[in-house]
Amino acid sequence: MKFLVTGGAGFIGKWLLEKLPTNAEVVVLDSLDQQVHRKLHDFSPEVKERATCIQADVQNIEDYQSEIEGTDVIIHLASQTGTGQSMYEISRYVQENVNGTAKLLELVSKLNSKPRRIILSSSRAVYGDGAYTDGKEIYYPKGRRLEDLQQGIWEVHNDRGRPLTFLPMQESHLTQPTSVYGLTKLWQEQLMQNYCESQGIDLVTLRFQNVYGPKQELGNPYTGIIGIFTNAIAQGKRLELFEDGQVTRDFVFVGDVAEAVVRCALHPASLSSIINVGMGQAVTLIDVVEAIAALLHKPADYTVSGRFRVGDIRHAVADMSHYETLLGSWFPISLKAGLSQYLEWYLEQEPLSHAVLQASLREMERSGLLLSKHG
């Protein structure tokens, strides 16, 4: 089998390369984006050993078209991934994520033999605020109101001011992204769906939750909340938690995500489906900070600042039942076990300087996207 992995030099890509069958031919296409790959000007030895590597932007199809004829499965990971950053570097996110996907499809349309399957790495960001219930009906709030956030009303309410209960994200739920990043992931999904349906290509769209684990690039201050928390705790810096610290996320270990991608890639029958990939458990950010601090034997030094990021969502957790129906049992590793593996690796890395992280927050402040509650 022959695989093309775009963005294959990135965090999830590196894990994926290890798990693809050893007898498969693999081509990695990656621009080695300097925001992600601090100081890296060539593919790392582990990627070079496993794959034919092409350094190119996915938009520049002439740079790699000669290498991908005969590909059975395309795994499209290449993307810009900073949700907050996408709110002010809007055209760059649209170019690289949307035009990048469009160009990749144009290239596929020129191939003599089309791939059997395409796997797209989408995101839980496409759900936006997700679905809520009052016990009777389902509501799809379209973003939280600025006036509410400025008053410190963090949870989602119905029109009569009653708090609603968040529902685990199901693939059938409405998609209404609250960030430019989320929009670009949804456009990627729709472009792929439209094209693959017309060509009979088996499209598997995987909506990842928050992925963490060893090999996550620490040089990128715009993504990877666990890396950001770990940097601060390990360096003895006080952490700022936005809102009231009770924001929840579904943290899924990168090894489990790579396993899910490989299962889809090798699945014998057609899947043609959108599938969530998360641990399936919601964890508050305070709990994550405390878990990291306990494992590092450091104090959990944080302030709950009441500041908030415009477009941020309050809760996210995947419903994994569709995955289990299609692909069998899902036994992700626990957060504690995953964090232990992550921290063991982290302690051998050069940490991101606190100043770089602070600079990324100042960029958001300047753009009016990091605000404080009044009073």
Return the active site residues.
Answer: 181
**Which residue of 20, 33, 119, 156 would you call a contact of ligand NAD, by CB under 6 A?**
33
Residues that bind ligand NAD (rule: CB under 6 A) add up to a total of 28
- Residue type for 230, please? T
DSSP string, 257-283: HHHHHHHHHH-SS---EEEEES-S--E
Segment contacting ligand NAD by CB under 6 A, of 78-86, 110-118, 278-286, 360-368? 78-86
Q: Measure the CA–CA gap between 207 and 298, rounded to whole angstroms.
A: 34
Q: Which amino acid is at 125?
A: A
Among 205, 210, 230, 281, binds ligand NAD (CB under 6 A): 210
The only residue of 4, 5, 11, 338 in contact with ligand NAD, by rule CB under 6 A: 11
Q: Which is nearer to ligand NAD, 156 or 184 (CB)?
A: 184
Nearest to 267 by CA among 334, 323, 200: 323
Q: How many CB atoms lie within 10 A of CB 262?
A: 19
Q: How far is the CB of 121 from ligand NAD (least distance, A)?
A: 4
Q: Does 121 contact ligand NAD by CB under 6 A?
A: yes
- Using the rule CB under 6 A, is 7 a contact of ligand NAD? yes
310 touches ligand NAD by CB under 6 A: no
Q: How far is CA 216 from CA 16, 228, 304, 358, in A?
A: 13, 11, 26, 19
Binding flag, residue 80, ligand NAD (CB under 6 A): yes
Determine the Cα–Cα distance for residues 285 and 281; give it in Å rounded to an integer: 13
Alpha-carbon distance values, 300 to 6, 149, 167, 272 (Å):
38, 26, 29, 44
Q: Determine the Cα angle at 87 with ends 119 and 11, to 5°.
A: 40
Looking at 2-10, 168-176, 233-241, 366-374, which segment touches ligand NAD (CB under 6 A)? Answer: 2-10
Stretch that binds ligand NAD, among 126-134, 159-167, 207-215, 242-250 (CB under 6 A): 207-215
User: What would the 3-class secondary structure string for 171-222 be?
Assistant: CCCCCCCCCHHHHHHHHHHHHHHHHHHHHCCEEEEEEECEEECCCCCCCCCC
- 3, 30, 323, 330: which one contacts ligand NAD (CB under 6 A)? 30
- Contacting residue, 93, 208, 229, 253, with ligand NAD by CB under 6 A: 208
Contact flag: residue 218 with ligand NAD (CB under 6 A): no
Q: Does 58 bind ligand NAD (CB under 6 A)?
A: yes
Instruction: Provide the H-helix boundaries in 39-128.
Output: 45-50, 83-86, 90-93, 100-110
Print the binding letters for residues 259-288 with ligand NAD: x by CB under 6 A, - otherwise. Answer: ------------------------------
Q: Which is nearer to ligand NAD, 10 or 141 (CB)?
A: 10
User: Minimum Å distance from CB 89 to ligand NAD?
Assistant: 12
Q: Please state, in angstroms and rounded to a whole number, the distance separating the CA atoms of residues 123 and 134.
A: 26
Q: Any idea what DSSP says for residue 301?
A: -
Tell me how far, at minimum, the Cβ of 122 lies from ligand NAD, in Å.
7
Quick one: angle between helices 254-266 and 11-19, nearest 10? 50
Q: Which is nearer to ligand NAD, 63 or 287 (CB)?
A: 63
Cα separation of 117 and 199, whole Å? 11
Piece of 11-19, 44-52, 324-332, 340-348 that binds ligand NAD (CB under 6 A): 11-19
What are 370's two structure tokens? 């990091």
Angle at 271 between CA 268 and CA 277, to 5 degrees: 110
Stretch that binds ligand NAD, among 63-71, 77-85, 194-202, 305-313 (CB under 6 A): 77-85
4, 5, 13, 154: residue in contact with ligand NAD (rule CB under 6 A): 13
| Interface with ligand NAD (CB under 6 A) | 6-7, 9-13, 30-33, 36-37, 57-58, 77-81, 96, 100, 121, 123, 208, 210-211, 217
